[in-house]
């Protein structure tokens, strides 16, 4: 075969050579050990937890080593393309604070190794495609869908392996005249790789997460360019990660079976392959067994799920770190207040088999994370979330920020902050009673108490209450009310001889709590009353007395 003639025939307009490309995308000037990696998602409109796991791993490796992280949009599969998907993708990654040093942005590209959207790189791929043809390592295939289906049917009948290889690779050794004739007829063609591999051979390979692996060589003549001239993932991966000088490819382990092909491609193109990290899947318990999280069955796979439910970004991030690095939780216990970025992330601490997603654990982690936030921070988080998902809450909080912050500051700070919120959606039911238009009495007094006692307690409380009292004085006055009504003010004495009392001081507090908050459970009553102020506390107590 005259490969020069074939290459010219297939790519008449390609005048540039691989060395021109090398000159256009010169090596990066980075210090020794700096990692260059990327997120390379396909814009399907669905951004999932796996994307974030991959992104965080790459991000940590790059930024901890003084390297570069970039975003490449892998839009080669037009069939999966959804309008607006690139924007959704970029916006979600931004929401999760994945900072890219270069790559695709909503407004275009940022960086000198672009374009960063693969469909805009067609000319670049063609240079290398032509080179492979010149070297006899790629050839055109004119098989129609029907012919490919027929090959498959015959393979099935013969119980042969499926695919385009060996004797089934019908265009692999076709003479030039056939190719010229097919082109003259305007028949669509794809460019295929001429594999010299055999499934009898194994290749050895070291993955940075999975360790030493032995994989079967690739014998398939896979497609490199589709009939529209757009590359397949495999070809684009080799060309782009070479030209963009990626040092580490972090991706899902569903790509492991095609790795032998990728390594063949790098070699055929004369490229040094990057280091690979194949991440195991996220799994969940389904009854007794583990299974992969699935788009169809598990809403929690979608990133939008966490946003809607009101998990702060910091909670999701913190949780994913517990999943990704086995030593993270120990580190966190030793450094409860340290910024998460000071944790030394290491791919060596990743579980090669994948990680278990545990929704209950996520909630626990989130409670801790939220409990450690300052009042201003939790306020900002809730306001941002509510502006999208609870407009009434948003207007209540922003109507009087200092009032809202005084509520949110209850039990915050100190060594043992309260852990009331797992998600931001928990905030409204926690604080709604602070707003008069939301306040309703939802709980009732247990029947075991005399209405007359309740009424007397509420009235007695109002007689001595003074908003200026500190917590001790305030509580001493409640104790005095208790004693005056025959309720124990000393819990120990009460426990020893409950029959001597009508109840105890905790019951008196409960009478007040139901009147003032409408519930049997609430945040600290002293703080609640300080925030509501005497007039509203009394108005609520009087309203309760009227019902007794
Ligand atoms: N576009 C591929 C995907 O979405 C990227 C895999 C990779 O990171 O190389 O799975």
Ligand 1, atom 4, lies closest to the CA of 41
Specify the pLDDT at position 86: 84
Instruction: Choose which residue among 43, 59, 69, 255 to substitute to test ligand 1 binding: the one with the highest number of ligand atoms within 8 A of its C-beta.
Output: 255
229 against 82, higher pLDDT:
229
54 Cα–ligand 1 center, Å: 10
CATH code, 285-371:
1.10.1160.10
Dihedral of CA 324/330/336/339: which sign? Answer: negative
- How far is it, in rounded angstroms, from Cα 367 to Cα 369? 5
Specify the pLDDT at position 89: 85
Domain boundaries, the chain: 285-371, 375-434, 451-547
Section 376-404 average pLDDT? 98
Looking at every residue in the chain, the average pLDDT score rounds to: 95
Closest ligand 1 atom to Cα of 251: 8
Is 251 touching ligand 1 by the criterion CB < 6 Å?
Answer: yes
416 Cα–ligand 1 center, Å: 43
pLDDT in tens, 88-114: 888 888 889 899 999 999 899 999 999
523 Cα–ligand 1 center, Å: 48
Is 237 touching ligand 1 by the criterion CB < 6 Å?
Answer: yes
Confidence of residue 490 (pLDDT cuts 50, 70, 90): very high
Section 291-298 average pLDDT? 91
Backbone angles phi, psi at 472, to 5 degrees: -70, -45
Confidence of residue 80 (pLDDT cuts 50, 70, 90): confident
pLDDT in tens, 448-484: 999 999 999 999 999 999 999 999 999 999 999 999 9
Is 42 touching ligand 1 by the criterion CB < 6 Å?
Answer: yes
pLDDT for residue 81 is more than 80: no
Confidence of residue 45 (pLDDT cuts 50, 70, 90): confident
Is 40 touching ligand 1 by the criterion CB < 6 Å?
Answer: yes
- How far is it, in rounded angstroms, from Cα 372 to Cα 369? 5
- What percentage of the chain exceeds 90 in pLDDT? 91
512 Cα–ligand 1 center, Å: 59
Closest ligand 1 atom to Cα of 51: 4
pLDDT for residue 280 is more than 90: yes
Confidence of residue 392 (pLDDT cuts 50, 70, 90): very high
Closest ligand 1 atom to Cα of 38: 8
pTM of the model: 0.90
pLDDT in tens, 111-125: 999 999 999 999 999
CATH 1.10.10.350 fits 451-547, yes or no: yes
Section 68-89 average pLDDT? 88
pLDDT for residue 530 is more than 90: yes
Contacts 24+ apart (CB under 8 A), 414-422: 417/371, 417/372, 418/371, 418/523, 419/367, 419/368, 419/370, 419/371, 420/367, 420/371, 420/523, 421/366, 421/367, 421/370, 421/371, 421/378, 422/311, 422/363, 422/364, 422/366, 422/367, 422/370
Closest ligand 1 atom to Cα of 241: 9
Which residues 6+ apart lie within 8 Å of 319 measured at CB?
361, 362, 365, 366
């Amino acid at each position: 075969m005259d490969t020069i003639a074939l290459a010219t025939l297939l790519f008449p307009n390609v005048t540039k050579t691989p060395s021109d490309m090398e000159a256009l995308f010169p090596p990066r000037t980075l210090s020794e050990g700096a990692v260059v990696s990327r997120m390379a998602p396909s814009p399907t409109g669905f951004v999932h937890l796996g994307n974030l796991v991959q992104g965080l791993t790459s991000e940590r490796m790059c930024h901890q080593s003084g390297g570069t992280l970039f975003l490449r949009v892998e839009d080669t599969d037009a069939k999966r393309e959804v309008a607006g998907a690139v924007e959704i993708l970029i916006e979600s990654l931004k929401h999760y604070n994945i900072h890219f040093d270069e790559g695709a942005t909503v407004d275009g590209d940022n960086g000198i190794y672009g374009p960063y959207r693969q469909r805009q790189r067609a000319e670049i791929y063609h240079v290398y495609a032509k080179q492979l043809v010149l070297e006899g390592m790629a050839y055109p295939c004119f098989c129609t869908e029907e012919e490919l289906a027929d090959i498959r049917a015959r393979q099935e009948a013969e119980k042969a392996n499926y695919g385009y290889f060996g004797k089934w690779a019908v265009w692999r050794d076709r003479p030039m005249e056939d190719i010229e004739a097919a082109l003259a007829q305007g028949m669509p063609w794809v460019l295929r790789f001429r594999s010299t591999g055999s499934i009898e051979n194994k290749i050895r390979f070291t993955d940075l997460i999975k360790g030493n692996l032995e994989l079967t060589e690739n014998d398939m003549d896979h497609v490199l360019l589709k009939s529209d001239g757009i590359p397949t993932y495999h070809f684009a991966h080799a060309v782009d990660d070479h030209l963009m000088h990626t040092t580490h490819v972090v991706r899902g382990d569903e790509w492991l079976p095609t790795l032998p092909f990728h390594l063949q491609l790098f070699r055929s193109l004369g490229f040094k392959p990057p280091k690979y990290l194949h991440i195991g899947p996220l799994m969940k318990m389904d009854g007794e067994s583990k299974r992969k999280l699935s788009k169809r069955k598990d809403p929690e796979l979608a990133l939008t799920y966490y946003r809607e439910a009101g998990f702060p970004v910091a909670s999701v991030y913190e949780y994913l770190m517990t999943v990704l690095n086995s030593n993270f939780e120990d580190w966190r216990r030793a450094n409860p207040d340290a910024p998460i970025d000071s944790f030394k992330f290491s791919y060596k601490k990743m579980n090669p088999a994948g990680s278990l997603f545990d929704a209950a654990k996520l909630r626990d982690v989130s409670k801790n994370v939220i409990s450690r936030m300052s009042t201003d921070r939790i306020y900002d988080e809730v306001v941002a979330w509510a502006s999208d998902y609870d407009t009434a809450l948003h207007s209540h909080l922003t109507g009087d920020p200092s009032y809202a912050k005084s509520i949110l500051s209850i039990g915050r700070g100190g060594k043992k902050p309260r852990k009331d919120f797992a998600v931001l959606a928990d905030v409204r039911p926690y604080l709604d009673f602070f707003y008069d238009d939301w306040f309703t009495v939802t709980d009732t007094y247990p029947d075991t108490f005399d209405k007359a006692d309740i009424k007397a307690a509420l009235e007695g409380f109002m007689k001595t209450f003074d908003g200026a009292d500190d917590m001790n004085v305030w509580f001493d006055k409640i104790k005095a009310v208790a004693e005056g009504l025959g309720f124990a003010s000393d819990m120990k004495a009460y426990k020893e001889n409950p029959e001597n009392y009508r109840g105890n001081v905790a019951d008196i507090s409960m009478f007040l709590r139901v009147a003032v908050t409408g519930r049997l459970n609430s945040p600290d009553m002293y703080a609640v009353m300080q925030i509501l102020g005497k007039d509203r506390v009394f108005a609520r107590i009087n309203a309760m007395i009227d019902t007794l």
